[in-house]
Amino acid sequence: MGEFFAMGGYAFFIWMAYGMTALLIVAEIVTVRARYQRALHLARHSEAHEAAAGAQLKEAE
Amino acid sequence: MSGFKYAAPAQFYPLAGKMALWFAVLAAVLTVIGLVIGLYIAPIDVTQKDSYRIIFIHVPAAWMSMFLYVVMAFWSAMALGMNTRLSAMMAQSIAPTGALMTAIALWTGALWGKPTWGTYWAWDARMTSELILLFLYLGIIALRNAIDDPRRADKACGVLALVGVVNVPIIYMSVRWWNTLHQGASIKLGKTSIDDIMLAGMLVMVFAFWFYSMAATLVRLRAIMLEREAGAAWVARLEEVKEVRKEQ
């Protein structure tokens, strides 16, 4: 196991490359999901929607 | 079934959600397979020893950085030429993931350069043009943030994206046109210069990065659709928007 992580003496370069890549991708996943949740929240509480939903109810009646 | 059906946000929104989920699952599975091949199964390189293993993320990220730019420029051209709002949103959704892939390509390239060439950075044609690609992505993102009206931002960013696309063939051809520190392509049709298992691992990682980029872009696209069309009737009709309203 130690040999695996040592990467034949190139551990610093390999793990800095893979580590930063993982960090950046995880950061993007977190921010993209947060942006989607925020957009969904805004859509749910948009005043225009309240009006649209009201109009739909009237249509249904 | 007509493809045009999906040109409207109302139709594409649910499809994008399904695609994003499947692409994310595929990306995760391929990443695990690719990492096992790249870091464990693939033998060490005769000249570069273990340092070459950076190839399994460097090349996929570099390819995606250029591919995503071309796709972004394509949707920008569609948005400018046809004035379709979904095309503009697609272009908008790609820029951050493109910037991320470019940053990964530059970062991993530097960490590969040090052990193989003795330097993290050189102002050679390949590296400089890839750095310009990063600035183009960041410039497009900054330009959008600087313009309040989304439709005007679409036009400005679209023009910048189209002007910048000239940089992509320069990046691609730089190792042939100039005598660069960066090596030439290892992957060529018919005469690839790397081992089969190394090639397999790299291609698996290319697909992993491709599926990941599509998933991230599609989720961002769904967020952008909701942000920009918050008042539209199709958003109000979405189940995930209606549900909460009933509860209240």
Q: Can you give the residue ranges of every domain in chain B?
A: 12-247
Average pLDDT over residues B84-105: 96
Q: Percentage of residues in chain A with pLDDT exceeding 90? A: 52
Q: B84 vs A52, which has greater pLDDT?
A: B84
Q: A52 vs A10, which has greater pLDDT?
A: A10
Interface contact A35, partner B, CB < 8 A: yes
Q: State residue A54's pLDDT score.
A: 62
Chain B hits for A58, CB-CB cut-off 8 Å, are none
Contact flag B231-A48 (C-beta cutoff 8 Å):
yes
Residue of B nearest to A38 (CA): B223
Q: State residue B183's pLDDT score.
A: 82
Chain B hits for A56, CB-CB cut-off 8 Å, are 233, 236-237
Residue of B nearest to A31 (CA): B220
Helix axes B239-247, A47-60, angle to 10 degrees: 90
Q: How far off is chain B from A44, nearest CA to CA, in Å?
A: 5
Interface contact A43, partner B, CB < 8 A: yes
What secondary structure, in 3-state letters, does chain B show?
A: CCHHHHHCHHHHHHHHHHHHHHHHHHHHHHHHHHHHHHHHHCCCECCCEHHHHHHHHHHHHHHHHHHHHHHHHHHHHHHHHHCCHHHHHHHHHHHHHHHHHHHHHHHHHHHHHHHHHCCCCCCCHHHHHHHHHHHHHHHHHHHHHHCCCHHHHHHHHHHHHHHHCCHHHHHHHHHHHCCCCCCCCCCCCCCCCCCHHHHHHHHHHHHHHHHHHHHHHHHHHHHHHHHHCCCCHHHHCCHHHHHHHHHC
Q: Percentage of residues in chain B with pLDDT exceeding 70? A: 92
The lowest-confidence range among B1-10, B20-29, B98-107, B185-194 is B1-10
Q: State residue B176's pLDDT score.
A: 85
Per-residue pLDDT tens for B201-217?
Answer: 999 999 999 999 999 99
Q: Percentage of residues in chain A with pLDDT exceeding 70? A: 75
- pLDDT bin (cut points 50, 70, 90) of residue B185 is confident
- pLDDT bin (cut points 50, 70, 90) of residue B235 is very high
- pLDDT bin (cut points 50, 70, 90) of residue B113 is very high
Kindly provide the ipTM of the predicted complex, given to two decimals: 0.90
Contact flag A35-B220 (C-beta cutoff 8 Å):
yes
Contact flag A46-B97 (C-beta cutoff 8 Å):
no
- pLDDT bin (cut points 50, 70, 90) of residue B196 is confident
Q: State residue B49's pLDDT score.
A: 87
How confident is the prediction for chain B on average, in pLDDT?
91
Question: Does pLDDT of B1 surpass 50?
Answer: no
Chain B residues in contact with chain A using a Cβ-Cβ cutoff of 8 Å: 39-40, 44, 49-51, 53-54, 57-58, 61, 96-97, 100, 103-104, 107-108, 111-112, 114-115, 212, 216, 219-220, 222-224, 226-227, 230-231, 233, 235-238, 240-242, 244-245
Interface test with B, best of A21, A31, A47 (most B CBs within 10 A): A21
Q: State residue B242's pLDDT score.
A: 80
Q: State residue A52's pLDDT score.
A: 59
Q: State residue B231's pLDDT score.
A: 83
Chain B hits for A18, CB-CB cut-off 8 Å, are 39, 57
Interface test with B, best of A32, A35, A41, A57 (most B CBs within 10 A): A32
- pLDDT bin (cut points 50, 70, 90) of residue A50 is low
- pLDDT bin (cut points 50, 70, 90) of residue B190 is low
